[in-house]
């Protein structure tokens, strides 16, 4: 078995990233996704412009998993932080050996260390949340807060007008 490795995404990964992003929005989005907005965030990070993408899979193929990280200032500061936009493992690879989600979290930690920035990462999901929290705690320690979404849940945005 080949070891699961996370590599820095490049512009060649744009199609695979867009497919993953659309799947992530379908499964776990809070509101209707905008393809152009997704592309802008992904393209910028794939070009290392205020962000970075960690991917699992070969260029120009169906990606197995990815993490999208952006650098941005907190609302109260001029100092940048590395902020996770999304971590997503394609359903075909969730039960496969290799711990893809954990490897993506480790990639994010290493990127934050290399950049000398704090990492802001979390879980906004209504599915398998407890398992995700336990995995994050194993890799990051105790959480610093929580999110609530009212009155809906992730993955329940109105798809009837598509």
| Domain locations along the chain | 7-140
> CA 130, CA 8: separation in Å to the nearest integer?
28
Q: How many CB atoms lie within 10 A of CB 20?
A: 25
Predicted confidence at residue 159, as pLDDT, reads 60
> CA 68, CA 17: separation in Å to the nearest integer?
9
The DSSP symbol for 52 reads E
Q: ω before 151 within 30° of 0 (cis)?
A: yes
Predicted confidence at residue 152, as pLDDT, reads 82
| pLDDT at residue 4 tops 80 | yes
Nearest to residue 8, comparing CAs of 49, 51, 52, 50? 52
Predicted confidence at residue 160, as pLDDT, reads 56
**Region 3-8: what's the mean pLDDT?**
94
pLDDT tens-digit series, residues 35-58 = 999 999 999 999 999 999 999 999
Residue 81 is encoded by which pair of tokens?
């932080």
Q: How far is CA 21 from CA 74, 130, 133, 137, 142, in A?
A: 24, 23, 21, 24, 28
* Ramachandran sector of residue 128 (left: φ over 0; alpha: ψ -120 to 50; beta: rest): left
| pLDDT at residue 162 tops 60 | no
pLDDT tens-digit series, residues 74-133 = 999 999 999 999 999 999 999 888 899 999 999 999 999 999 999 999 988 888 888 889
Instruction: Identify the band that residue 147 occupies on the pLDDT scale cut at 50, 70 and 90.
Output: confident
pTM > 0.85: yes or no: yes
pLDDT tens-digit series, residues 6-41 = 999 999 999 999 999 999 999 988 899 999 999 999
Q: Which CATH architecture does the domain made up of 7-140 adopt?
A: 3-Layer(aba) Sandwich (3.40)
Higher pLDDT, 30 or 162: 30
């Amino acid at each position: 078995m080949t070891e699961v490795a996370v590599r820095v995404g490049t512009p060649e990964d744009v199609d695979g990233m867009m497919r993953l992003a659309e799947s992530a929005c379908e499964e776990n989005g809070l509101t209707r996704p905008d393809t152009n907005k997704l592309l802008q965030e992904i393209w910028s990070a794939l070009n290392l412009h205020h962000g970075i993408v960690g991917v699992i899979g070969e260029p120009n193929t169906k990606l197995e998993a990815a993490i999208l990280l952006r650098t941005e200032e907190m609302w109260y500061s001029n100092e940048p932080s590395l902020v996770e936009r999304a971590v997503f493992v394609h359903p075909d690879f969730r039960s496969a050996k290799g711990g893809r989600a954990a490897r993506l979290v480790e990639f994010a930690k290493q990127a934050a260390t290399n950049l000398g920035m704090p990492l802001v990462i979390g879980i906004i999901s209504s599915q398998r949340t407890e398992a995700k929290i336990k995995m994050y705690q194993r890799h990051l320690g105790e959480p610093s807060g929580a999110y609530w979404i009212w009155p809906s849940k992730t993955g329940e945005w109105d798809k009837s007008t598509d």
